[in-house]
Structure 1
């Protein structure tokens, strides 16, 4: 082959063009220009919107399998949780039915025993529904304000409960509103009875420094039969709270060798920090009929004491 016919230019594979350093400088300058232009004039925003619009169908199709797998996993997880909840609900329903049958039987037996012993029937406590308006402004007390007052028949000293238990007691009454001192207030005390042992005591408020508080079962002997989880209900001996209303549950029992009394902390059963709707009960003492006087004794005017009462009052 004659040498003149050979093409002396290199093939395209070996053509290098501009150097790598030149390409780097041009690309860096272009990138810097685009960054400044985008920051100043937002020139790439339409481009981004157009690219996002074009790419969206592909993204949507690519996410379908992932969402399908996630949906199937959530479905089976929810199905399993639903079965667990159904079993738990059935178990609670059976327990509630059993307790309802026992309560009905015990109610019948109680009525029969009361008739046999000649005791009076249990009092039915009248109640008034109310709504909590706001917390009291005093940060050193635990009080709330409800929307019922004297015009609704609310009396000072009336117990207040919610759907879970004793919430507190009415301590101040106004025409349209009333002030309720919660059971966690340090000045509040509720006579209680331990449903497991039948032992009586007094639960005092034990409000904490940060607003939340609990109850403290004071003056219980160090060897008293009190365990964590014991339910405390109202005893009804104070003439204020009807018996049998839940007050709290024993949370912690500390028996110290240097003290004759145990330190017993309790958790209130009522929603002392979040109650919204409450029931105001009539004080139990107002429902008990007065003690009958002897037939030969003269009637005593209200506000006056008999000679026997005056003599008993003298030391």
Structure 2
């Protein structure tokens, strides 16, 4: 069993490098912090690594101050673990380093995962990578404490949309209840991570709402954020989290899209489905991936061309489903 194999390796080894994907979310960072804390409790040496400094809301997670960004990589790890990464390119860093990481352990719950690791623990039925980390910690016999519990709870809470999304499972609730037994206070984590935001986010939202447009008889809703909006409001990328929900919650919308400008001609498309469309499959047409109801991809080019090409594909998918 893959889970037991990884657990045995973690018990045997002494030094581990833990990483997650670019633009990390709470599931990725929470999983990394939870496993890292559990390894430390067994006197393991660990490095928690991200490509860029953490921003809100992940910066509020227990142990986030232990995450580092370094330019050189020692090669004496017993294993390198990539958490919540659907594909190797999402890890970031230099390709040479990632390719030479050995053994590379891939722990993820995305249905589009391409099994890039030497060892792959991939379960698309899992609500989150945090849920997989919980199972791994239990299998390895590592102790659980409040810090580990907070991060596991936060990972599951955010990836299930506070236990509202279709990926929520009975196990999600059972783990959440167990984390409360360790002292987790759901209302505190929810407010700090999901409900609390600054003035910059509110200003950014006001500008973004003016960009909402609908296509295909109201079945596609698009909201956009440009670099100029970020600059004018002094907001950052994290401030735009969940903006895709505004068109998604409109009656009749089947596909919601957030287009976020990253560079001069660089854009991130975040896709959300209300159940009719498999957005992971749609995103894969543009080199991306994710889950059936939540996926995304990066694209380079003029925004008018990118939107036109995307709408052609999305409209075709909707038309095929209606026939």
Asked if these proteins are the same fold (TM beyond 0.5), I'd say no
Higher percent of residues as strand: 1
TM-score by length of 1: 0.20
Higher percent of residues as helix: 2
TM-score by length of 2: 0.20
Structure with larger Rg: 1
